[in-house]
Structure 1
Amino acid sequence: MRIRFAALLMVLLLGVFGLAGCGSEEKKPAAEAPKAEETAKPAEQAAASAEVKPMQVGFVYVSPIGDAGYSYAHDMGRQAVAAMEGVTTSYVESVPEGADSERVIMNMARKNFDIIFTTSYGYMDPTLKVAGEFPNLTFLHCSGYKTAENMSAYFGRIYQARYLTGMVAGKMTKSNILGYAAAFPIPEVIRGINAFTLGARAVNPDVKVHVVWTKTWYDPATEKEAAKSLLDIGADVIAQHQDSPAPQEAAQERGAYSVGYNTDMTAFAPKSHLTAAVWNWAPFYTTVVDKVRKGEWKSDHYWWGLAEGIVDIAPYGEMVPEEVRALVDARKAEIKSGAYKVFTGPINDQSGKERIAAGEVAPDDVLLGMTWFVEGVVGSNE
């Protein structure tokens, strides 16, 4: 569901805040029709709220919703939308990118859904195509960079949360070897690895972060094998940019620690899970629906962060000492207030070349086109 480097680097030419990829590679065939989950609205409530415009909102997911991970996080946001007065929501899960996704998006558009959210990078072009055919509907695409008059792009500054989880990992490691099971070598993932590494080395300069690429967004077996390979070289904390909790489970089986992603994965590895970089899509989705209903929504690139409540870290595992929690919480407050920027120089790349000068803060176009690893990362960026 992600972009090729050449395509993503076009962000640098856009000159506006863009978004990078997110999501899961699908393993199941797409459903032919949306599953509707309608929020029941008593007749008397509807009558009393005649001024509230009814809205039909659709969501397209690339992986199964399940009980953790990327699509699950988006669906929690959908449920917040479904709870809004006068709003009906529908979704289709496990939709492969390409022709299948275009068919599902088109099906929603033909049913006159007021708003359609497509949550995988690989849905970008199909969404843009359908948006062009239905100019009176509103489309929002997660993680891409293309927009139209009736299509926005959106994502979140999850790298802020990844920095904080890196701090936790850096404090908890004994071997100073951190493992990172990562999906594809594209800027979103590389940016996250770099932020995690910067956080870890801020509290433990001796740390090295070893990266293994899985070349998949959602494949529990492959993700688990990647984690095992990292454990085999001495990693005692496993982090991930993957959708399933399989790396967490691998870490617990070996008596190592782990850092999750997308949602709180404590339940899958309670003895291992330190924390996780997590999504909270509800503030964004409910804001969009409210503004579209009021005629106030404008197409743009949206990149919210800790300050807006769209990203955060999961509760700490009970094994995380109070002094570590206090340290990370203090930095979290600084990031949230804007007093601290994650990518503040001096920052060198793997070769020792200065990429961000001392005192400088990397602008968004640099972050969005990031294809190089920071010092402390062990592994290829390809």
Structure 2
Amino acid sequence: MSQLNRRDSLKTLAALGAAGTLGGLSSVAQAQKPLTIGVIYVGPRDDYGYNQAQAQAAAEVKKMPGLKVVEEENVPETAAVQKTMTGMISQDGAKVLFPTSFGYFDPHILALAPKNPDVRFSHCGGMWTEGKHPKNVGSYFGYIDECQYLNGVIAGHMTKSNKIAFIAAKPIPQVLRNINAFTLGARSVKPGITCNVIFTGDWSMPVKEAEATNSLADQGCDVFTMHVDSPKVIVETAAKRGKMVCGYHASQAKLAPNAYLTGAEWNWLTAYKTIIDAAQNGKPHPNFLRGGLKEGYVKMSAYGPMVTDAAKKQADDVKAKMIEGKFDIFTAGLKDGKGTVVVPKTLQQTDLELEKMNYLVEGVLGSL
């Protein structure tokens, strides 16, 4: 033990001499032992979708000084994720975890957080509640319905059949919010447009996603978007059918360059940097992070070559208003499919009603 302590002391003194005394012991400790960040994905990191968007942020974090990133992909939303998180904490020394999938939160993050009070858990989703959940747990998410509205504007200009399509996993509030925003964006161009919706039942069901795409193509839909973990199958299937696509999560332009109009993308690096900065500097863990285009949490894919100038102009004008905080998607008087007013007053992005959305607006054909 005395030899080990002596060796450690010499290392510390040498580091102090190199760094200078102004940096203090904390700087030396940080230089010697980087902050370890753990990132966990429910699917492959190169899925052209949800996981790839998170992995893109993690790749940028790896370039930041004083940090070490450990990752594990294809971890199901079961007790398996608890084992992965436990391993990252005990074996890798992770102090900040990004368990990125929706189903990781309850019960898995909530089971481990109280047992590891010195570890910060950041979950992608809207599930953290003050007074109910641990302080070392937080959530981050983006107002990507802004981008889905812009997808809809482009779709409204590009559709010839006035039938657009949305393929989704589950009718949870965030998904319904995206469907509604896409539809409202399209109907801002052509009020008579309808949006046909098929729910596959889960986040990753490639066979059903292909079947849904073909079914909606058969029904005359000519512009597609989606809310599933990996849009790859939908994008490629729609392109093969001669249809157009607005992407989601990350850019899928490489998969179908002649069909890809634009897309709604995440920019998770903004949230990652905020969370990591708090950990590095001893600030309270950010429990509830939200932002849209203005805050840099979401972004649009580049326009495809087939997008018209008129479509670009309207979408760019609306985007500028969103960034200025002068545009609301869900305005007073919106009705559901039965004609009942479901939005009695205009809703801002920060209004909790949007976190609980449980309806489809008029012009959407689909069942809950």
TM over 0.5: yes
1:169 pairs with 2:169: no
Deviation at 1:358, TM superposition (A): 5.8
Please identify, of 225-234 and 294-303, the stretch whose mean Cα deviation from structure 2 is larger.
294-303
Does the 8 Å CA contact 1:220/1:244 hold for their aligned counterparts? Answer: no
**Deviation per residue, 1:259-312 (Å, 9 max, x gap):** 111111111111111111111111110121112110113342212111111111
Write out aligned runs for 1:29-108 (5 A): 48=19, 51=27, 53=30, 54-66=34-46, 68-108=48-88
Distance of aligned partners of 1:120 and 1:222 in 2 relative to their CA distance in 1, 3 Å threshold: same
- Aligned equivalents of 2:122, 2:321: Cα separation in 1: 30
Q: How many residues align?
A: 337
1:133 pairs with 2:109: no
What is the SS of the residue equivalent to 1:230? helix
Does the 8 Å CA contact 2:231/2:247 hold for their aligned counterparts? Answer: no
Distance of aligned partners of 1:99 and 1:67 in 2 relative to their CA distance in 1, 3 Å threshold: closer
**Deviation per residue, 1:215-253 (Å, 9 max, x gap):** 121232321211111001000111111223111111111
The one-letter amino acid of 1:196's match is F
Distance of aligned partners of 1:97 and 1:67 in 2 relative to their CA distance in 1, 3 Å threshold: closer
- Aligned equivalents of 1:360, 1:244: Cα separation in 2: 29
- Aligned equivalents of 2:100, 2:153: Cα separation in 1: 29
The one-letter amino acid of 2:336's match is D
Aligned to 1:341: 328
Aligned to 2:7: none
Does the 8 Å CA contact 2:328/2:346 hold for their aligned counterparts? Answer: no
Aligned to 1:202: 188
- Aligned equivalents of 1:266, 1:306: Cα separation in 2: 20
- Aligned equivalents of 2:53, 2:349: Cα separation in 1: 28
Aligned to 1:3: none
Deviation at 1:119, TM superposition (A): 0.5
RCO higher in structure (CA 8 A, sep ≥6): 1
Does the 8 Å CA contact 1:344/1:362 hold for their aligned counterparts? Answer: no
What is the SS of the residue equivalent to 2:58? helix
Does the 8 Å CA contact 2:275/2:285 hold for their aligned counterparts? Answer: no
Aligned to 1:229: 215
Does the 8 Å CA contact 2:328/2:347 hold for their aligned counterparts? Answer: no
Instruction: Say which structure is richer in helix.
Output: 2
- Aligned equivalents of 2:341, 2:126: Cα separation in 1: 28
TM-score calculated relative to the size of structure 1: 0.84
- Aligned equivalents of 1:336, 1:357: Cα separation in 2: 24
1:282 pairs with 2:269: yes
**Deviation per residue, 1:96-137 (Å, 9 max, x gap):** 011111111111122331100111111002112111101011
Aligned to 2:174: 188
Does the 8 Å CA contact 1:182/1:214 hold for their aligned counterparts? Answer: yes
- Aligned equivalents of 1:344, 1:159: Cα separation in 2: 14
Write out aligned runs for 1:278-317 (5 A): 278-317=265-304
The one-letter amino acid of 1:134's match is N
- Aligned equivalents of 2:270, 2:78: Cα separation in 1: 29
- Aligned equivalents of 2:349, 2:324: Cα separation in 1: 17
Aligned to 1:29: none
The one-letter amino acid of 1:98's match is T
The one-letter amino acid of 2:114's match is G
Q: Which runs of 5+ in 1 are unaligned?
A: 1-42
Distance of aligned partners of 1:360 and 1:71 in 2 relative to their CA distance in 1, 3 Å threshold: closer
What is the SS of the residue equivalent to 1:140? strand
Q: Following TM superposition, where does structure 1 have runs of at least 4 consecutive aligned residues deviating by more than 4 angstroms?
A: 47-50, 358-363
Does the 8 Å CA contact 1:356/1:362 hold for their aligned counterparts? Answer: no
- Aligned equivalents of 1:335, 1:234: Cα separation in 2: 32
